[in-house]
Structure 1
Amino acid sequence: MRTVSIDGKAVSVFLGNKPGIPAIYLNTYSDEGQKIYEAAQAVGCPPFNLVTVSDLAWSHDMAPWDSPAAFKNGESFTGGANDYLRLLVKEIIPRAEKELAGPPAWRGIAGYSLAGLFALYAIYRTDVFSRVGCMSGSLWFPGFKEYIFSHEPKRRPDCIYFSLGDREAKTRNPVLKTVQENTEEIQTFYQNKGIDTVFQLNPGNHFVQGIERTAAGIQWLLNR
């Protein structure tokens, strides 16, 4: 593993040590890249390169547009996703891929929670990713479902993985309780377009087994 700092973000590259294998880009909340890479090995993922980005301004970099806080005492969202995506595509990807044994077979983008939302949003703003992993994605985000239904991705994705904990929608919070309904509607929307997609329901709430759920999504993307 090699870690470099790019514009204040910590970028770690975990090498699969073979040329022509996929590269998956994963934005992380608390630098859990090493654990996720090890979990992916443990479940028998085929060789791949993992590039993780941490030290993110989470409620800014991952948010597609401004939105009020979803939680009591939470931070408001200030839409910085377009700026961060520009940094990812123009600086982070070229720098990370200098470490690889050769150009990747394909690039995927994945994330958990708000980073799952960002992963899906990214394909509407850039054509560099062909597979998406949206694990426990914050698809309750106000206006996001409507955005998906009214916009076209920059390239048609090869496949999209969705997952959610079966207790995530069981909340009194009127914004968050839409998460399962929205995820299912969005997944059905892609399925009806003939895109290879799946929705996996896992036991537990949002904070259970995030590492394992992320590794499971990566494994699915790699095995398509």
Structure 2
Amino acid sequence: MIAEGKHIYIYGEKGKAAPLIVMNTFQGNGSDVYSALCTIAEKELNLAVISDINWNEEMSPWECAPLYKNDSPYTGGADKYLDKLTGSIIPAIKAELGAEPEYTAIAGYSLGGLFAIYSLYRTDVFSRAVSASGSMWYPSFLEYAEKNNFGKMPSRVYFSLGDREARTRNALLSTVEDKTGKVYDQYKNKGIETTFEMNPGNHFKDADLRLAKGIAWILK
């Protein structure tokens, strides 16, 4: 299906009030994530994968300069996209499913993982979240998380990283493990059920499996 110019791929069974996991992706249809979930998840779910994301625009909470020469800047369009996501895209997904979900959660990888966590502060739609190899290095995000309240207190939040992700000469990216740990500690101290899992490899290793593992964890 298409909504707000985005291709949306829905996996699961229509008409069932299973949890709805909304996943924003840079490219692809998310079929590999769903295939992995079918082998490891202990509960039925519906997965809605939203593609055609303008990544550096729609997943970034505010402006940030490019990380490397000749890269694109981050232009801070997350709030605008979140309005579309909650106002029309998710209602269209629910209409397609034909049932009100048990709850709605959000998942994402890399900058999509940052957006998943950011959305917890900007809306009350999501009760659980997955940030797989999330971009917690993003300038001022740790401070934002410290100072702001959730739209609705989440019940379960999953964080993960690769154990080689912080091994970089880039000053911002090298902070990702420390900052992810600090956001995780904030959530734990608030009484949220949360975990921070380290996976082998760099940022680009086993992305689909890392997402599936996070989604399976929040479904428990």
Is the structural similarity TM-score above 0.5? yes
Unaligned runs of 5+ in 1: none
Match of 2:219 in 1: 222
Decide whether the 8 Å contact of 2:41 with 2:219 is kept in 1. Answer: no
Match of 1:61 in 2: 58
User: Residue 16 of structure 1: CA displacement?
Assistant: 3.2
**Does residue 1:201 correspond to 2:181, yes or no?**
no
User: Residue 67 of structure 1: CA displacement?
Assistant: 0.7
Match of 1:136 in 2: 133
Task: Tell me which amino acid in the other structure corresponds to 2:40.
Answer: V
User: Residue 17 of structure 1: CA displacement?
Assistant: 4.2
Match of 1:186 in 2: 183
Q: Any idea what the Cα deviations from partners look like across 1:53-84, whole Å, max 9, x if unmatched? A: 11011000000001101123211000000000
Q: Distance in 2 between the 1:190 and 1:124 partners?
A: 13
Secondary structure of the 1:123 match is helix
Q: Distance in 2 between the 1:187 and 1:18 partners?
A: 35
Decide whether the 8 Å contact of 1:31 with 1:53 is kept in 2. Answer: no
> How do residues 50-129 of structure 1 correspond to structure 2 at under 5 angstroms?
50-129=47-126
Match of 2:173 in 1: 176
Q: Any idea what the Cα deviations from partners look like across 1:138-197, whole Å, max 9, x if unmatched? A: 000001111000100111000100000000000010010000000000000110111110
Q: Any idea what the Cα deviations from partners look like across 1:3-43, whole Å, max 9, x if unmatched? A: x2222211111123462210000001112411111110022
Task: Tell me which amino acid in the other structure corresponds to 1:105.
Answer: E
User: Residue 120 of structure 1: CA displacement?
Assistant: 0.3
What's the % identity of the aligned pairs?
Answer: 43
Q: Distance in 1 between the 2:9 and 2:218 partners?
A: 20
Q: Distance in 2 between the 1:56 and 1:108 partners?
A: 18
Match of 1:37 in 2: 34
User: Residue 44 of structure 1: CA displacement?
Assistant: 3.7
Q: Distance in 1 between the 2:4 and 2:29 partners?
A: 20
Secondary structure of the 1:119 match is helix
Q: Distance in 2 between the 1:148 and 1:71 partners?
A: 26
Decide whether the 8 Å contact of 2:4 with 2:89 is kept in 1. Answer: no
**What is the aligned length?**
220
Q: Distance in 1 between the 2:215 and 2:50 partners?
A: 16
Secondary structure of the 2:161 match is strand
Decide whether the 8 Å contact of 1:158 with 1:196 is kept in 2. Answer: yes
Q: Distance in 2 between the 1:205 and 1:89 partners?
A: 32
